[in-house]
Amino acid sequence: MVKDKVCIVTGAARGIGAAIVKRLAENGAHIAFTYVSDSSAEKATALENEAKSFGVNAKAYKSNAGDFSQCEVFVNDVLKDFGKVDVCVNNAGISKDNLLLRLTPEQWDEVMNVNLKSVYNMTKQVIRPMMKAKSGSIINMSSIIGIRGNAGQASYAASKAGIIGFTKSVALELGSRNIRCNAIAPGFIETDMTHYLKEGTAAETFLKDIPLGRFGKAEEVADLTLFLASDKGAYITGQVISICGGLNI
Ligand code: NAI
């Protein structure tokens, strides 16, 4: 579905990002992905090799998505190494959950930098080559928490809601250049970020509100990402697509 497209995925050493890398590579895309910490380097190399096993080019880059100049260097390197950028999946994200009474300015800034400024940092870099190519798909990982809000997650919710406004604005600005920009809003997906879902009582409370009666899998988010990245999604832009087992009805 994405044969020979060059796809960037940020924050992909594990979780949803890693599942997206595998799904895109399996479907013929060449992959440039980022990881941020030295402790993830080994996982990133393993993922790079796994992607290459599908017969595509793949390369892991150490780059902090929250840092504008590192994103500039990263995208320039991708253009040197791969020659073009067709798809950018802004997946990197963190949560620093705390009740507002206790939420520090440092925690607020960190979440905003990694979750929201990162999306600006990367999108700003990829739209130039996409405008030249008169084609591109940008996919931003928001969250249903950005739509509904959640007690104890004011900074996370604000960053994910910010992504939605950004996504719609970019879609309006760049639609005439055939650049699409969409957001995915996952519900509860089983990854390291949601490790608490495995802990009995919390899981039962959340499950009651999910019509499909289960948590989602990273691979299911990857399938949706693949569709939006591919030409099958050619008439979809400016949308926020929830993948949440019905939690957000
Ligand atoms: P995760 O914690 O397993 O993965 C996040 C990845 O982002 C990690 O590989 C981490 O190293 C990377 N990262 C963190 N800071 C970074 C930075 N400054 N620069 C580059 N990479 C960085 O979490 P998961 O679940 O895979 O989340 C992926 C995305 O999906 C995030 O944006 C998250 O907010 C979003 N999401 C996840 C949901 C879930 O239930 N797991 C629900 C809704 C949204």
pLDDT digits (tens, 9 = 90+) for 51-63: 999 999 999 999 9
Q: Which amino acid is at 132?
A: K
Full domain range(s) for residue 156: 6-243
142 is a domain residue: yes
Ligand 1 and 123: CB distance under 6 A = no
The verdict on the CB of residue 225 being under 6 Å from ligand 1 is: no
Report, as ranges of residue numbers, the positions in the chain whose pLDDT lies below 70. 200
Is position 53 within any domain? yes
- Whether 115 is covered by a domain: the verdict is yes
Cα of 176 from ligand 1 centre, angstroms: 31
Longest Cα–Cα distance in the chain: 52
Q: Whose CA is nearest to atom 3 of ligand 1?
A: 15
Protein residue with its CA nearest to atom 21 in ligand 1: 11
Rounded distance between C-alpha atoms, residue 118 and residue 132, angstroms: 22
Is the beta carbon of 111 within 6 A of some atom in ligand 1?
no
Task: Report if residue 248 sits inside a domain.
Answer: no
Distance (angstroms) between ligand 1 centre and the Cα of 219 equals: 14
What's the pLDDT at 206?
87
pTM over 0.95: yes
The DSSP result for 132-149, as a single string, is: HHT-EEEEEE--THHHH-
Q: Give the position, in ligand 1's atom list, of the atom nearest the Cα of 95.
A: 34
Whether the CB of 186 sits within 6 Å of ligand 1: yes
- CATH code where residue 71 lies: 3.40.50.720
pLDDT at 200: 67
Structural domains counted in the chain: 1
Give the Å distance between the CA of 15 and the centre of ligand 1. Answer: 7
In a domain, 249, yes or no: no
> For the segment 127-152, what is each residue's pLDDT rounded down to a tens digit?
999 999 999 999 999 999 999 999 99
Indicate whether 1 belongs to any domain.
no
Least Cα distance to 43 among 64, 81, 66, 15 occurs for: 15
- Two tokens at 89? 């999946």
Pocket lining: 171 vs ligand 1, CB cutoff 6 Å: no
